[in-house]
Amino acid sequence: MKKLTFMMAMFLLMLAGSATAQEERDLTKAEKKALQERIDSLLFVEAEQAINDRAFTLEADQVIFKYGQTAHVNTNTNFVSVKDNEATVQTAFNIPNSGPNGLGGVTVDGTCTNYELKKDKKGNIMLSTNVMGTGISARVDITLYQGSNKATVCITPNFNSNRITLKGNVLPIEKSNVFKGRSF
């Protein structure tokens, strides 16, 4: 894992170096698009490896509620994180009330069971797992889209229908920059 991360970091540095060397002339639209596709494919490989290793964080920048209302949120305080068989689900909204976690939302920890990975014919990766803990009993379904580290997670509680969907980026847990609130 460290070797793969080191190689990817070196490749990104080479890409950045070649991009700065080309500043003398402007990149064409096609060259910019090709460069962005290369970077996105590397991010996808890194995210796929993190999901396979059960060591990732999905940092959400958008929340979609049960009836389709959306809210843009801070990626540092809205996330789903998995490390081995432990999971953390946190939501925090910019409201005056501090909420149970001290950040304006909820933080719950639990244990992952039934960790199932599937890949569809387009190359999208789908992860389904149950998260059970003191404050959570839910089905967590994550879809990582082919060609980038963008993903969607749907959290469906087992005892009510208050489904919530988060959209964001999947990162290896060591590259994640999240702030965990008080959990229960």
Contact between 126 and 132 (Cβ < 8 Å): no
pLDDT of 131 = 93
pLDDT of 10 = 65
What percentage of the chain exceeds 90 in pLDDT?
Answer: 58
Q: Where are the domains of the chain?
A: 1-184
**Is the per-residue pLDDT at 22 higher than 80?**
no
Give the pLDDT confidence of 138-173 residue by residue, as tens digits: 999 999 999 999 999 999 999 888 899 999 999 999
Which tokens hold the place of 19?
């991009």
Give the pLDDT confidence of 80-129 residue by residue, as tens digits: 999 999 999 998 887 777 778 788 888 899 999 999 999 999 999 999 99
- Architecture (CATH level 2) of domain 1-184: Beta Barrel (2.40)
Concatenated DSSP letters of 5-56: HHHHHHHHHHHHHHHHHGGGSPPPHHHHHHHHHHHHHHHHHHHHHHHHTTEE
Q: Is the pTM higher than 0.75?
A: yes
